[in-house]
Structure 1
Amino acid sequence: MVNLEAVSNVVGIIGNFISFGLFLSPLPTFATILRKRDVEQFAADPYLATFLNCALWVFYGLPLVHPNSILVITINGTGLAIEVAYLSIYFAFAPRPRRLRMLGVLAVEVAFLAAVAAGVLLGAHTYEKRSLVVGSICVFFGTLMYASPLTVMRQVITTKSVQYMPFTLSFVSTLNGICWTTYAIMRRDVFIAIPNGMGTLLGLAQLTLYFCYYGGTTPKSGVELPVTSTASDADN
């Protein structure tokens, strides 16, 4: 008889490796920023969004909210540390207006996280209620992150060019969504299943567009797409 828990753990570990690779995908962008000592036209928005997403999943995985979720904390904690590093580099080389905007957004995000933590820990007195509240918030923001490539997909359809939708990132993001959707089904965790199921569908749509419109253009790896790693190893 197949041990579904063991299989789901293996799938979750694979998902961790894929998610880690996605977290590292913006490295060429920041290597360019460090080399030129200028953020140029790169925006901090994808990294601010991923920072909030990772922080929420880390909170979801805490023993006080959703026990026995160590892999939730490890992968999203790693992602959180990576995003802090990215934002630090961006802040160091960004002009003053962009620095102030970034700090403002960060302040709002931190205040939101503090409010969620206080509300959940003081107002929800069971693991089920805490998981429901935090998980629902994670689903909302995770779905927004997975939906963010829609603007790039629209650009592909309008220009009939995949120049700004790199195949590798789309392919790996799709694998990430498939992996975590499979894990969620095995664990019967709706909070992981919803955003990653949407991510799988959007990833497949991106790949379909790529093969429909590819021809004579060279995909660029420096595209500023959010790292859609909402996958979190939540154990029920």
Structure 2
Amino acid sequence: MANDAPYVFAVGILGNLVSFCCFLAPVPTFYRVCKKKTTESFQSLPYVAALFTSMLWIFYAYIKTGEILLITINAFGCFIETVYLIIYITYCPKKARYFTFKMIFLFNVGVIFLVVLLTHVLAKERTARIELLGWICVVLSTSVFAAPLSIIKVVIRTKSVEFMPITLSVLLTVSAIMWMAYGILLRDIYVTLPNFVGITFGTIQIVLYFIYRKHKPVKDQKLAEHKDNVTNEENANTAVRSVNQGANAVAFVDVEFGEKKEVKKVEEAEKKQDQVGNSRDRTEHNNNSNKTREASTQLQHREG
């Protein structure tokens, strides 16, 4: 087998190690969830999708056979994403819990069952089955990379990189490089393509960081204009997380911390404006009271 070569195995091991760190990136988030016993405004969709792609690539590795390194990292991915979802379901509101169960049933049960059915019905031979399943994996994994477009848009619009942690962006890009190299060495286009997309988006994020890293944070009034957009983007992709897990480069750039900072700044700006408004109201009230007292005094003098 191609992956019997020591250098191929070494690249796969490095890919496993980096992806392992990526999978553990949300741990602080869920520690906070457990501590506060609330999911706040976090969304479950990124974790549902990460679980889905991990399951999909395990099935691909099983059909192809011999891809133990893909199985190990994605098996860990299935485990840790399941833990995240259990914690989320435990502490989320009733409406969010219903939505999460619906997404799990749709993707992790329905779509996976459909993929298994199609690969066995439409492709009778093993080679044809691997090819069909491989392209399904490529399409579904690559489509997930629409998420980074959101954080890239936020960075360009606000000219601030506080919403895009450079450490995680670099880590995810390195992970994609490792797995693309692994795919090239195996001559496996289905492993190579999604991670090529991952490298592209990761490179864009790093370049944007160095372009805007010295820019001052956006002004409060500009933040107020984007408050609604930030809230919508937070609902779309929650937690800076791109998980290039094995071959499945799942790109969920979690702007949860950056967006919360932005929303917090907006709220602080609004409070300041309210305080200024209240101060002005009090000043005007005092002025009016003084004028009233002066008029009353003058009237008394005239009557006297």
1:96 corresponds to: 94
- Measured in 2, the distance between the counterparts of 1:139 and 1:37 equals 37
- Measured in 2, the distance between the counterparts of 1:71 and 1:126 equals 24
- Measured in 1, the distance between the counterparts of 2:80 and 2:120 equals 27
CA-CA distance at 1:226 after TM superposition: 4.1
Kept in 2: contact 1:147–1:199 (CA 8 A): no
1:106 corresponds to: 104
The one-letter code sitting in structure 2 at the alignment partner of 1:201 is T
The one-letter code sitting in structure 1 at the alignment partner of 2:152 is M
Name the stretch that deviates more: 151-160 or 109-118.
109-118
2:117 corresponds to: 118
1:155 corresponds to: 154
1:220 corresponds to: none
Give 3-state SS (helix, strand or coil) of 1:35's partner: helix
Kept in 2: contact 1:142–1:230 (CA 8 A): no
CA-CA distance at 1:224 after TM superposition: 1.1
2:74 corresponds to: 76
Question: Which gives a bigger RCO, structure 1 or 2 (Cα 8 Å, sep 6+)?
Answer: 1
- Measured in 1, the distance between the counterparts of 2:140 and 2:205 equals 20
CA-CA distance at 1:71 after TM superposition: 1.5
Match status 1:36 vs 2:36 = yes
- Measured in 2, the distance between the counterparts of 1:122 and 1:198 equals 30
Name the stretch that deviates more: 123-132 or 79-88.
123-132
Name the stretch that deviates more: 178-187 or 4-13.
4-13
CA-CA distance at 1:126 after TM superposition: 2.1
Q: How many residues are aligned here? A: 224
Q: How high is the TM-score relative to the length of structure 1? A: 0.90
Give per-residue Cα distances to partners, 1:67-110, cap 9 Å, x unaligned: 11111111101101100000000000000000000111111111
Kept in 2: contact 1:60–1:135 (CA 8 A): yes
The structure whose Rg is larger is: 2
The one-letter code sitting in structure 1 at the alignment partner of 2:65 is P
CA-CA distance at 1:230 after TM superposition: 4.4
The one-letter code sitting in structure 1 at the alignment partner of 2:41 is Q
2:46 corresponds to: 46
Map residues 162-177 of structure 1 onto 2, 5 A cutoff: 162-177=161-176
Runs of 4+ residues over 4 Å off in structure 1: none
Give per-residue Cα distances to partners, 1:137-174, cap 9 Å, x unaligned: 11112112333211101100000001111111101011
Match status 1:227 vs 2:242 = yes
Q: How high is the TM-score relative to the length of structure 2? A: 0.70
Would you tell me which structure has more helix in proportion to its own residues?
Answer: 2
2:61 corresponds to: 61
Kept in 2: contact 1:75–1:232 (CA 8 A): no
Give 5+ residue unaligned stretches, structure 2.
218-237, 249-304
- Measured in 2, the distance between the counterparts of 1:69 and 1:198 equals 22
